[in-house]
Structure 1
């Protein structure tokens, strides 16, 4: 068995080591520009260069080393007609829950404002927000979104969720589709974006929708930068309609030095680290799914190309 591995960050050694441990019969082939090699049985990647696509002839499946698949699906019909399989969790859900819970609690307890006060040498206890009015709305209620909702439920926040199709989750007021979006937004104090990036969700958080959030709302984006119209978000923050934003993803990464987000104190920036891919957990999951495919068994997390996730 031959497995083609590509890592955009160039960090391949942990992956090679873990594959050798769990699939010792497999040869891991590292892709290099312009270096030909024999066909492989499986491919493991996330955001491949276009030059890699011609090396995918003959693969039985492509494994995506993340929950999002937009960086691969952008190649459309250039991809071979084989299953594309994303990671189900592999340690990402708990990381995402930690990140979002921290952001929500930081805003609820007004730590963002206390930080700004402290930098000015100001000692001023602020009134506590009413938790009953501090509704958290999660856009995208897949596996990661549900884990985030579970974490927030522990703190007693009113919870709501929005998704493409109707879902029922105990303790969560659920909305779906275009018909439910307005009501979802108008009652959400902290908006958490966890949507897959598709043509329908690109620029979904532009001025028209962001303006529907109540005055003093917050935005947390841990999905993809292209969900948010960045100039619109900045305008609404500067106008005071949105009180702050915590952003882990951006249209251009790394975020360019001259970007105005860097200069806005009400925007918290992190470098796309809300849920890091863990090699050991990921390789174990991929190896299990390869074993199932070799035995002719179904596997979970196969991507629906038409839906984009």
Structure 2
């Protein structure tokens, strides 16, 4: 019997209990899934960083901690977590992100906002075709790569940037400081899907925003700290950035007095770009437990040095 501890907020237990049991059965795993195993008897922890479990020291036989969130920045600094940590890569979450990003890129590309707001005159303005609209993705992990490929299939010339070299068919892949400058210099639409690490904090700042073509659009479904908020607001005020759609923020929920709410060139969405789906996430968790029991390498293992 494999002892699995579920450590997340109570509402998550109600959401995940039955999908996890179904996924374990489907994978042929004999699992005792509980909220209250004795720590020294736990083989795996299914985990959310906002749970009460913060000290992993008693979990002496735990083989891996399996995160329910795609982001791991709230747990990588936990010095008591010495066992392998796996981030969530969920097909349902990926599909949701691809749909959200593609929708907002097309919204900007086709100038749909103008069609909605300008209803008092006949003023035909024909948008360019997709192949004439350069799009840059900052971040080429599982989510960034999927979004980049989706946009490329529509016909957008897509440039992807990452900290280390990547190669993706149909995508111009750049990396490093010079690559970032090149990626931003032609981007009429920028999508941020980087992890939140010290190396990515404020990656869009006054200097990097100035590299964009005037009037470029920003879409951030990644992490709030990727953007220097004061610099973005200043760039919006000057027209250097034409509009920003922001789904994530340093403080959530976004405070009622935050200037983003009132800015005419900002769209706020309440962290809804993508959500982990219990059914598909449970299958990902079951597969990693199967791998652990079979002595195979875990999927989506976190590199503690890089922070993702």
Same-fold status (TM-score > 0.5) = yes
Change (3 A) 1:189 1:162: same
Matching residue of 2:159: 160
- What's 1:139 paired with? 138
Deviation at 1:287, TM superposition (A): 1.0
For the residue of structure 1 that corresponds to 2:91, the secondary structure is: coil
Task: Write out aligned runs for 1:4-83 (5 A).
Answer: 4-8=5-9, 10-23=11-24, 25-30=30-35, 37-39=38-40, 40-49=42-51, 52-54=54-56, 57-58=59-60, 59-75=62-78, 77-79=79-81, 81-83=82-84
Q: CA deviation at 1:83?
A: 0.6
Structure 2 match to 1:296: 295
| Gaps in structure 2 of 5+ consecutive residues | none
Structure 1 pair 13/308, CA: closer, same or farther in 2 (3 Å)?
same
Q: Which residue of 2 aligns with 1:198?
A: 197
Gaps of 5+ in 1: none
186 and 83 in structure 1: CA distance in 2 versus 1, 3 angstrom threshold: same
Distance 1:54 1:292 in 2: 22
| Aligned positions of 1:85-104 closer than 5 A | 85-104=86-105
The size of the alignment, in residue pairs, is 301
What is the alpha-carbon distance in structure 1 between the residues aligned to residue 9 and residue 214 of structure 2? 40
Q: Deviation of residue 133 (structure 1)?
A: 3.9
> 1:109 Cα shift?
0.6
Question: In the TM superposition, what is the alpha-carbon distance from 1:56 to its structure 2 partner?
Answer: 5.6
Match in the other structure for 1:105: 106
8 Å Cα contact 1:221/1:249 also seen in 2: yes
Find the residue that maps to 1:63 and give its secondary structure.
Answer: strand
Does the 8 Å contact 2:94/2:142 carry over to 1? yes
Over 3 Å counting, the alpha-carbon distance change for 1:159 and 1:9 in structure 2 is: farther
Q: Which residue of 1 aligns with 2:172?
A: 173
3-state SS, counterpart of residue 11 of structure 1: helix
Aligned Cα root-mean-square deviation (Å): 2.1
Report how far residue 74 of structure 1 moved.
Answer: 3.4
Contact 2:135 2:190 (C-alpha < 8 Å) held by counterparts: yes
The answer to whether the 8 A contact 1:48-1:72 is kept is no
Change (3 A) 1:124 1:55: farther
The C-alpha deviation readout for 1:274-303, integer Å capped at 9, x for no partner, is 111011111111112111101212122111
- What is the TM-score of this pair, normalised by structure 1? 0.90
Q: Structure 2 vs 1, CA of residues 124 and 7 (structure 1 numbering), >3 Å: closer, same or farther?
A: farther
Partner of residue 307, structure 1: 306
CA positional deviation for 1:50: 6.5
Deviation at 1:69, TM superposition (A): 1.2
| Larger mean Cα displacement after TM superposition, 213-222 or 61-70 | 61-70
Mapping of residues 210-249 of structure 1, within 5 Å: 210-249=209-248
How far is the alpha carbon of 1:116 from its aligned partner?
A: 3.0
Q: Is the 8 A contact 1:8 1:47 kept in 2?
A: no
